[in-house]
A = this chain, B = another copy of it.
Amino acid sequence: MSQYFSRRNLNFLLYEVFNVPALNQLPHFEAHDRETFDMALDAMTKVADTHMYPYTKEVDRNQPELKDGKVTVHPKVGDYIKAMGDAGLIGAEFLFENGGQQMPQTVGAVLGFIAMAANNGMMYTGLSAGAADLIATFGSDELKAKYIEKMLNGKWQGTMALTEPQAGSSLSDITTTAYPSENGAYSIKGQKVFISAGDHDQCENIIHLMLARIEGAPKGTKGVSLFVVPKYRVAEDGTFADNDVTSTGVYHKLGQKGVPAMHLTMGDADNCHGWLVGEPHKGLSYMFRMMNGARIGVGMTGAAIASAAYGASLQYAKERPQSRRLNEKNQLDAPQTPIINHPDVKRMLLHQKAVVEGSLSLLIETARFADLAHASEGDDKEKYDLLLDIMTPVAKTFPCEMGMQAVSNGLQVFGGYGFTEDFPLEQYYRDIRITPIYEGTTGIQAQDLLGRKMTMKGGKAPQLLFAEIAQVIADAQTHDELKPYAKMLQAELARAQDVLMTLMPYAMKGEIERFLMDATLFLEMFGYTLVAWQWLKQATVAKHALLTQNPEGDELAFYEAKVHTMKYFFHYEVPKNLGLAARLKDTEVLTIVTEKELAL
């Protein structure tokens, strides 16, 4: 079995690069140290090895089916959900008082990484945690008492029910309606689509955290409220009553086939009850407070699928003999060489490693900012909230977009075999394709980064971020071997600022469409810069270890590969910013609607 993730690399990032146990200096995390983190990582690995990874292909090949109103999924799904609940992994990040372990999000995100690398078709428990978190943060004591425990122990499934047929990227156009009803409940009517884990037979109940508009609410995002809408209403004595949430259809998808994406209809029999979470009309703001975490989770999924693809293609490249080396083409008596020895294959493997480990580092950094913001106060809180805000669109997008390229390279390493179902690459290639779409498409993330995060509070977020990067540049300059890379990263910061100087005047003039027309390219460029920062950070730590610890064998090789892969990233990936910046500074407008229709 190929290695779907590297624990050595996780330890390097969590303990050597980011010193995550130091979070316990904050009262919120004081119960934790490396030992508790290792126990959680071990527990997650055990569940992943036992209940998830072995069923990757099987769960993909046996898709959820809707029959007579019931959705059947692979029975192994139930085993994995139970194991996650029993091990306390669903609620790892929840407060002790809510039955959680009060783990940092940094560690929680890494647990998610392991799970998604093992089997990203088993994404059920992450959804339950996200839904329960909304109740825990914004819900009444009654809602908390009723739902959280069962969602965290895996008995009940949670979902995020946002999307409607006419409202995908545009959540302000939601029309599902909540009518005030008896006992403080609301009567819900409407349709939702693409609700992941929106119905299945491996949990006793399904708890939807659903956006809807209270009758008569204002138009737009300011009239959207958040409700708990269960599949079954639960009486005081625990008995279930059908809540009129009908499974109208299950989407058959390109990938992530293990989890049903449901089309749901609420209130066909005027008997669907929902309970308001928090205050009316604040649903979208609640959702957005949770969104950073959800987006880090999707970024982790991209990195995780790319990690599993890297492990599989690396193993194949070491074992598969094909052709001789280019300098020895005519030595026909010589045996064929393992394909890892061909520079083009090595390049594709280095790309994968650079994307996987660079993305992971970026995501852990982002989650750490979330923890620091969560557990701090005053100026510190503001600082880390801003850093979290500016990092999130990149941390969501880079691992997914570049992860797709990495997985495609992994498939290419297999040649024709990569295209067959005999190897896992074709599945990873299908699975990862959703990640740049959900939790906000790449285009939406790009508008968020350039249109909001770069400019809010007078541009304070990029200022803080650039100061963080400057620190890494300064650290790297203590090593001669790293100096050229520190200089290159400095140049990338200047490039980003130069591009912003070109674009900002459009924002100031109110030409928003012009300002944002190439936001996706800006996001791509900024992604290379931030991941270069993470690679320089990793290489500096590795270099320090090489000089101070005298490592040998595998450890020596591990640290040397870190420095080598950093170089790969700067020499092969960062130069792409030349073309991106050239385009971003280019004044030719080609994509904005003019009166004269373009005949596409």
A residues with CB within 8 A of B: 163, 166, 168-170, 172-173, 193-194, 219-220, 251-255, 261, 314, 321-323, 325-327, 329-330, 332-333, 336, 340-347, 349-350, 353, 404, 408, 411-412, 415-416, 418-422, 426, 429-430, 433-434, 436-438, 441-443, 446-447, 451, 510-513, 516-520, 554, 557-558, 560-561, 564, 567-568, 571-572, 575-580, 582-583, 586, 588, 590-593, 596-600
Contact = CB atoms under 8 A, between A and B. Distances in A.
A222 to B, nearest CB: 9
A65 to B, nearest CB: 13
- A contact patch SS: helix
Given A578-B582, A588-B567, A517 B415 contact: no
A343 B511 CA distance: 13
15 contacts: A168-B415, A170-B336, A194-B416, A251-B422, A344-B443, A344-B591, A349-B600, A350-B591, A412-B442, A419-B433, A557-B598, A567-B588, A567-B590, A571-B588, A575-B583
A430 B254 contact: yes
Contacts of A510: 327
A322 B170 contact: yes
B420 A251 contact: yes
Contacts of A255: 419
B415 A434 contact: no
Contact of A512 (B169, B326, B347, B597): B326
Nearest to A515: B326
Contact of A416 (B172, B408, B438, B572): B438
Contacts of A564: 590, 598
A538 to B, nearest CB: 14
Contacts of A322: 166, 168-170
A346 B168 contact: no
3 nearest A-B pairs in the assembled complex, by CB-CB distance: A557-B599, A575-B579, A578-B578
A590 B253 CA distance: 39
Contact of A173 (B336, B560, B572): B336
A520 B344 contact: yes
B598 A342 contact: no
B590 A571 contact: yes
What is the oligomeric copy number?
Answer: 2
Contact of A314 (B343, B443, B600): B600
A519 to B, nearest CB: 7
A12 B434 CA distance: 37
Nearest to A165: B417
A139 to B, nearest CB: 27
A441 B415 contact: yes
Given A419-B254, A561-B598, A578-B578, A342 B443 contact: yes
A599 to B, nearest CB: 3
B353 A600 contact: yes
A431 to B, nearest CB: 10
Of A219, A344, A561, the most chain B CB neighbours within 10 A belong to A344
Contacts of A512: 326-327, 329
Contact of A575 (B344, B347, B571, B582): B582
Nearest to A484: B588
A350 B330 CA distance: 46
A7 to B, nearest CB: 15
Contact of A583 (B353, B408, B561, B571): B571
Nearest to A404: B408
Contacts of A596: 560
A520 B345 CA distance: 11
Contacts of A599: 554, 557-558, 560-561
Given A326-B516, A353-B600, A599-B561, A591 B343 contact: yes
Given A173-B323, A251-B421, A415-B437, 4 more contacts: A251-B422, A252-B422, A346-B598, A575-B586
A255 B593 CA distance: 36
A163 B415 CA distance: 12
Contact of A557 (B323, B342, B576, B597): B597
